[in-house]
Amino acid sequence: MSGTRSASPPVAIVGGGYAGMAAAVTLAAAGRAVHVLEAGRRLGGRARATDLHGLTLDNGQHILIGAYAETLRLIDTVWGTGQDAGRPHPGYLRLPFELSMAGEAPLRAWPLPAPLHLLGGLLGTWTLPLRERLSAVRFIREMQRRRFRLAEDTSVEALLAQHGQGGKIAEVLWAPLCVAALNTPVPSASAQVFLTVLRDGLAGHRTACDLILPRVDLSALFPDRAAQYVAARGGEVSLCAPVRQIHACDGAFRLLCGPQPVTASHVILAVPPYRMAGLAAPLPGMDEAIGRVRALSFEPTYTIYLQYPPSVRLPRPMLGFIGSPVHWLFDRSHTGPHPGLLAAVISARGTHEALDHETLAGLAHREIATHLGGLPQPRWQKVIAEKRATFSCTVGVRRPAQETGLPRLYLAGDYTAGDYPGTLEAAVRSGVQCAHHVLND
Ligand SMILES: Cc1cc2nc3c(=O)[nH]c(=O)nc-3n(C[C@H](O)[C@H](O)[C@H](O)COP(=O)(O)OP(=O)(O)OC[C@H]3O[C@@H](n4cnc5c(N)ncnc54)[C@H](O)[C@@H]3O)c2cc1C
């Protein structure tokens, strides 16, 4: 994918995931020449299309929320849908917040201004003891009073205990929200990052807690269109182009990649955290960033696709399970031409990691059958284990900044410094931030 080459050296963006493509779109929109070098055959990185049984699906089920302002803005930019606000988006399904856990009354946002939409919804979840519902409302009000800031970070488990949020409300509400948002178990998850997500998602504008489910695969949702947008503005996007080495020389960079080195004025290193140190180690000024990235640990996310006959359909696109090895179940028929296709998701570390894929798929099928009843055997099943889906968003985790000790080389990615946990929004924000640094240089 390439447009017309510009005479001055481009900004090289190493990695065509959401972070790299967000940087590329921002720079291309500002008229800067960019060259994206992506190692894989497809754009998207940890959020990419994958082919299974003749279907184009994803490497893992993803969900976005209305508070992902930068991601949604850039999706609109590359789809050219900004002016259609209010109309259904062709790329995704946008639903008012609803937390449906099997066997529990759903927590639905009420059509009221924030924060009453959710406080009202919380009070309406009649399967939770009234005392716990009222205590949860008091907890949110108290956090609002403190502007969702803690003097010192602690674990989500400790925060909930301090504010009397144990019991059923922890199981039905707080733990599922924490693990879904931070992909980190409650005992070690950062309470400060969790509060930031609550601030933006639950206590923000009424639509900030909307649930957004892609209607198209994750490469098509943003990175592929971003590549077209960049190419239309003279930029270049190369696939199957792994960068092997980066040299800083005479105020420019040379990237070894393929038969011809690429010369660049700036580098935005937008590779996953576990690839960053290998590329950055030979460069000067990178010690602090490398030290921080080496101290990170990672959490897996498992997606188990189960293809049932088309008659199998959930009333809603998404259902949560409590006390089950499966955390969430998505019915892909609500978002695409996939009747009978369910995607079961298991977030973060756990005993499921020791199981082989066949055993795990069988376990997921039995769990789903227990909750839904009378399920036939799946026609096919496929487990996709992303072992390092995100960094562990633990208490006080120190993430490397986008700016490094080497002028004109920046780091983009969901693991870099920011308010958000390892998510698409964190990735996109970091990419946009790096692009602004380049533009300000
Ligand atoms: C299964 C799963 C489920 C998830 N669910 C959600 C969710 O529901 N909501 C949410 O917001 N987030 C979710 N996430 C997290 C989200 O996918 C990531 O935060 C985001 O995709 C990270 O984007 P990134 O651009 O920072 O990194 P990456 O996506 O890892 O992109 C880095 C890119 O660099 C490329 N690369 C690596 N080395 C080189 C090299 N030497 N040269 C050139 N290119 C190179 C890689 O191929 C890759 O394309 C999930 C992640 C997974 C895996």
CATH superfamily assigned to domain 11-58+217-296+398-440: FAD/NAD(P)-binding domain (3.50.50.60)
Say yes or no to pLDDT of 30 above 70: yes
* Rounded average pLDDT over 30-34: 97
Cα(282) to centroid(ligand 1), Å: 24
Calculate what percentage of the chain has a pLDDT beyond 90.
86
For ligand 1, is residue 328 a contact (CB within 6 Å)? no
Tokens of 270: 């937008």
CA distances from 110 to 100, 118, 349 (A): 14, 6, 34
Candidates 21, 25, 38, 46: which one to mutate for ligand 1, based on the most atoms within 8 Å of Cβ? 46
pLDDT of residue 118: 82
pLDDT band at 123 (very low <50, low <70, confident <90, very high): confident
Which atom of ligand 1 is nearest to 424's Cα?
Answer: 11
Calculate what percentage of the chain has a pLDDT beyond 70.
98
Stronger pLDDT, 398 or 251, i.e. the higher one: 398
Identify the CA nearest to 1 among candidates 213, 226, 155: 226
* Rounded average pLDDT over 352-360: 97
Cα(127) to centroid(ligand 1), Å: 38
Tokens of 284: 């000067």
User: Which residues, in sequence order, are CB contacts of 348 under 8 Å at separation 6+?
Assistant: 179, 183, 184, 185, 299, 300, 301
* Rounded average pLDDT over 315-332: 95
Which tens digit of pLDDT belongs to each residue from 401-416?
999 999 999 999 999 9
* Rounded average pLDDT over 211-224: 98
* Rounded average pLDDT over 140-163: 96
Euclidean distance between CA atoms 405 and 395, whole angstroms: 26
In three state form, how does the secondary structure of the chain look? CECCCCCCCCEEEECCEHHHHHHHHHHHHCCCCEEEECCCCCCECCCCEEEECCEEEECCCCCEECCCHHHHHHHHHHHCCHHHCCCCCCCEEEECCEECECCCCCEECCCCCCCHHHHHHHHCCCCCCHHHHHHHHHHHHHHHHCCCCCCCCCEHHHHHHHCCCCHHHHHHHHHHHHHHHHCCCCCCEEHHHHHHHHHHHCCCCHHHHCEEEECCCHHHHCHHHHHHHHHHCCCEEECCCCCCEEEEECCEEEEECCCCCEEECEEEECCCHHHHHHHHCCCCCCHHHHHHHHCCCEEEEEEEEEECCCCCCCCCCEEECCCCCCCEEEEHHHCCCCCCEEEEEEECCCHHHHCCHHHHHHHHHHHHHHHHCCCCCCCEEEEEEEEEEEECCECCCCCCCCECCCCCEEECCCCCCCCCCCCHHHHHHHHHHHHHHHHHC
Cα(272) to centroid(ligand 1), Å: 6
Identify the CA nearest to 435 among candidates 15, 76, 20: 20
Domain extent listing, the chain = 11-58+217-296+398-440, 97-209, 299-387
Say yes or no to pLDDT of 4 above 50: no
Cα(114) to centroid(ligand 1), Å: 32
* Rounded average pLDDT over 410-437: 98
Say yes or no to pLDDT of 369 above 70: yes
Identify the CA nearest to 263 among candidates 251, 275, 271: 251
For ligand 1, is residue 385 a contact (CB within 6 Å)? no
Tokens of 440: 């300000």
Cα(389) to centroid(ligand 1), Å: 7
pLDDT of residue 5: 45
Q: Do the strands 266-269 and 298-307 form a parallel or antiparallel pair, or are they unpaired?
A: unpaired
For ligand 1, is residue 223 a contact (CB within 6 Å)? no
Cα(281) to centroid(ligand 1), Å: 21
pLDDT of residue 7: 64
CA distances from 391 to 12, 147, 245, 297 (A): 25, 26, 24, 6
pLDDT band at 83 (very low <50, low <70, confident <90, very high): low
* Rounded average pLDDT over 193-221: 92
pLDDT of residue 3: 45
Point out the least confidently predicted range of 160-164, 204-208, 241-245: 204-208
Peptide bond into 259 cis (omega under 30): no
Which atom of ligand 1 is nearest to 430's Cα?
Answer: 26
How far does CA 225 lie from the centroid of its chain?
A: 18
Cα(413) to centroid(ligand 1), Å: 8
CATH number of 299-387: 3.90.660.10
Say yes or no to pLDDT of 202 above 80: no
Rounded to 10°, the helix 287-294/273-280 angle is: 150
pLDDT band at 85 (very low <50, low <70, confident <90, very high): low
For ligand 1, is residue 400 a contact (CB within 6 Å)? no
* Rounded average pLDDT over 334-361: 96
For ligand 1, is residue 386 a contact (CB within 6 Å)? yes
Say yes or no to pLDDT of 128 above 80: yes
Q: What is the number of alpha carbons within 13 Å of residue 118 lying toward its C-beta?
A: 26
| Average of per-residue pLDDT values in the chain | 94
For ligand 1, is residue 411 a contact (CB within 6 Å)? no
pLDDT of residue 203: 74
Say yes or no to pLDDT of 2 above 80: no
Say yes or no to pLDDT of 304 above 60: yes
Point out the least confidently predicted range of 114-118, 313-317, 327-331, 334-338: 114-118
